Amino acid sequence: MNNAQLFERAQQVIPGGVNSPVRAFRAVGGTPRFIARAEGAYMWDAEGQKYIDYIGSWGPMILGHGHPAVLEAVLSAAREGFSFGAPTEREIELAEAIVAQVPSIEQVRLVSSGTEAGMSAIRLARGATGRSKIIKFEGCYHGHADALLVKAGSGLATFGHPTSAGVPAEVVQHTLVLEYNNIEQIEEAFRTQGSEIACVMIEPIAGNMNFVRAQIPFVKRIRELCDQHGALFVFDEVMTGFRVALGSAQSVYAKAIPGFRPDISVFGKVIGGGMPLAAFGTTRQIMQNLTPLGPVYQAGTLSGNPVATACGLATLKEISKPGFYEALGAKTQRLVAGLTQAARDAGIPFVGDSEGGMFGFFFTSELPQNYNVVMATDKERFNRFFHGMLDRGVYLAPALYEAGFVSAAHSDADLEATLTAARAVFATL
């Protein structure tokens, strides 16, 4: 069956024909590509069309698809058993590997998804502080837990306005939503409600409004305010964790802010190497609030399952090798610089940014600093660019507000083929 036939078939038994909304191509229009297989930096759809893949399963495939060492680890673990519902040594090894690379973490709890890790981190923050209110920022996505599906308004903060049906207003009444990179708003929130705030949760590099960095002064001020008012600072590194640096995004900020550490960190994607696995971690003292030691409940039947931990461990071993991130970052920078130059040569407003193996770009003249600016960029031009690239065998994220990912498997030839395609598409825009 071709892609269109598969999509029609899927819509009969799956809402919208997809199991995660962005896959439906609603933002860009057209028919989703149904992927049959992947290898290295490439994917092939149901019609046999080959694509250079810059989604990488939305970040986990930092080594590319089917890396031999990871594949062997997964097959070996699968032969021993898929899941036991009991502790395994490999869970300890993965936890040790994460703790070894992230100085802010002394203990970690493994779970199965980024959403699960994010909601558990908030519950832990509330339990540890005895407070109810949380702060998040518009454009930052922390999973689809009810308390986090809240819409921001034009004022300081908006309470009780869910962005999803099925979320009662009373569930989100304690969630404050502020503008990303707005120091004045976060200061005002703490000035008026600081004693009630359990935590501030942020994507340090927001990958769900394409690619937008939290500015250094902004992160520094949040850290100061949390310390002053007894709130916890939560870094959601589901996307950036081990993707932008071996020490994750927090290590990037620590270079600019001496002594910087978040209080709680949330990880996913890369630590599972493509398998369903995520984690949250913090100091031993805060983690003592978590069951079975403390009153904050969290559990999961498949948490730390042996196949996923094998995949994650093998991935972390490979990316820990000397020079890995230097090479990955150089590839990503070359891609973004090439796209920017190609757009400039075509007279098209275009800006891009990257860190490690994560990148983003916008059809505008300056890098956006918050969600409203991102959404005001040229969406229609992006959509035409997306389809032009897709037609030429380059698979980018099918939405203006999603980041892209380069893997170790992308070759110089892949990058050049991508830039050649981009030059041709820019000429049509």
Kindly state whether residues 301 and 166 are assigned to the same domain. yes
Kindly state whether residues 184 and 235 are assigned to the same domain. yes
Under 8 Å between Cβ of 252 and 42: no
pLDDT higher than 50, residue 15? yes
pLDDT (0 to 100) of residue 156: 34
pLDDT (0 to 100) of residue 164: 74
pLDDT (0 to 100) of residue 149: 77
Dihedral of CA atoms 308, 82, 44, 141 in degrees, nearest 10, equals: -40
| Whether 141 is catalytic | yes
pLDDT (0 to 100) of residue 309: 98
Fill in the DSSP letter of residue 53: E
Among 39-48, 84-93, 145-154, 300-309, which is the least confidently predicted range?
Answer: 145-154
Kindly state whether residues 233 and 336 are assigned to the same domain. no
Dist CA 100 CA 98 (whole Å)? 5
Among 22-31, 153-162, 285-294, 388-397, which is the least confidently predicted range?
Answer: 153-162
pLDDT (0 to 100) of residue 155: 32
**Residue that is last in its domain, among 319, 337, 361:** 319
Kindly state whether residues 32 and 108 are assigned to the same domain. no
pLDDT (0 to 100) of residue 151: 57
- Per the DSSP assignment, residues forming a β-bridge with 35 are 45
* Catalytic, out of 42, 54, 141, 180: 141
| Whether 236 is catalytic | yes
- Residue 12's contacts (CB-CB under 8 Å, 6 or more residues apart) are none
Residue 344: closest CA among 419, 410, 403: 419
Helix (H, G, I), strand (E, B) or coil at 233: strand
Kindly state whether residues 250 and 183 are assigned to the same domain. yes
CATH of the domain at 238: 3.40.640.10
The amino acid occupying position 229 is: H
The amino acid occupying position 328 is: L
**Residue that is last in its domain, among 264, 287, 319:** 319
The percent helix, strand, coil of the chain (3-state, each to 5) is 40, 15, 40
Beta-strand (E) ranges in 263-346? 264-267, 278-282
pLDDT (0 to 100) of residue 160: 39
pLDDT digits (tens, 9 = 90+) for 225-281: 999 999 999 999 999 999 999 999 999 999 999 999 999 999 999 999 999 999 999
- 356 lies in which domain range? 3-66+322-426
Span 89-93, mean pLDDT?
Answer: 97
pLDDT digits (tens, 9 = 90+) for 172-213: 889 999 999 999 999 999 999 999 999 999 999 999 899 999
pLDDT (0 to 100) of residue 316: 98
Kindly state whether residues 252 and 382 are assigned to the same domain. no
CATH of the domain at 413: 3.90.1150.10
What are the tokens at 197? 């705030």
Dist CA 89 CA 71 (whole Å)? 20
pLDDT digits (tens, 9 = 90+) for 73-82: 999 999 999 9
Kindly state whether residues 388 and 250 are assigned to the same domain. no
- Per the DSSP assignment, residues forming a β-bridge with 353 are 360
Kindly state whether residues 104 and 245 are assigned to the same domain. yes
Kindly state whether residues 286 and 411 are assigned to the same domain. no
- Per the DSSP assignment, residues forming a β-bridge with 370 are none
Q: What mean pLDDT is reported for the chain?
A: 95
The amino acid occupying position 57 is: S
pLDDT band at 166 (very low <50, low <70, confident <90, very high): confident
Span 399-423, mean pLDDT?
Answer: 97
Residue 298: closest CA among 126, 113, 119: 119
pLDDT (0 to 100) of residue 117: 97
Dist CA 69 CA 228 (whole Å)? 47
Question: With the C-alpha atoms ordered 407, 412, 418, 423, is the resulting torsion angle positive or negative?
Answer: positive
User: Helices 216-229 & 248-256, crossing angle to 10 degrees?
Assistant: 90
CA-to-CA separations, 429 to 298, 336, 351, 396, 424, in angstroms, rounded: 50, 18, 16, 17, 9
* Catalytic, out of 42, 51, 263, 269: 269
* Strand 50-53 versus strand 394-395 pairing type: parallel
The answer to whether the bond into 349 is cis (omega within 30° of 0) is: no
pTM for the whole structure: 0.95
Query: In this prediction, what percent of the chain has a pLDDT beyond 90?
Result: 90
Kindly state whether residues 217 and 332 are assigned to the same domain. no
Kindly state whether residues 25 and 126 are assigned to the same domain. no
Under 8 Å between Cβ of 243 and 271: no
**Residue that is last in its domain, among 319, 348, 365:** 319
CA-to-CA separations, 280 to 13, 118, 134, 226, 356, in angstroms, rounded: 34, 8, 17, 19, 22
pLDDT higher than 50, residue 58? yes
Kindly state whether residues 390 and 347 are assigned to the same domain. yes
- Residue 19's contacts (CB-CB under 8 Å, 6 or more residues apart) are none
How many distinct structural domains can be found in the chain? 2
Span 341-357, mean pLDDT?
Answer: 98
Span 396-412, mean pLDDT?
Answer: 96
pLDDT digits (tens, 9 = 90+) for 122-164: 999 999 999 999 999 998 999 888 888 775 332 333 333 456 7
* Strand 197-202 versus strand 175-178 pairing type: unpaired
Residue 70: closest CA among 303, 350, 313: 313
| Whether 325 is catalytic | no
* Catalytic, out of 42, 54, 136, 236: 236
pLDDT band at 167 (very low <50, low <70, confident <90, very high): confident
